Chains A and B, each alone.
Chain A
Amino acid sequence: MTQKHEPGECRCSRGLTRRGFLSTVGAGVAVASAAGKLAAQPAASQGADVLPSAEMTPITLNINGRTHRLLVEPRWSLLFVLRERLGLTGTKVGCERGECGACTVLMDDLPRYACMTLAVEAQGSEITTLEGLMRGEELGGVQQAFVEEDAFQCGYCTPGQIMAVEGLLRAHPEPSQEEIQMGLSGNLCRCGAYVHIFKAAGRAAQLKRGQ
Chain B
Amino acid sequence: MGNKNRRAYREGAPEMIKSKRVVFIEGIMAGIPIGLGYFAVSFSLGIAAKNAGMTAFQGFLMSLLGHASAGEYAAITIIASAGAYLEMALMTLIANARYMLMSFAMSQRMKPDINPIHRFLMGYFITDELFAATISRPGYLSPVFMYGAICVASPCWAVGTGVGVLAGQLLPASVVSALSVALYGMFLAVIIPAAKKDKIVAGLILFSFAASWAAGVLPGISSLSEGTRIYILTIVISAAAALCFPIKMDEEGKTP
Same complex for A and B? Answer no
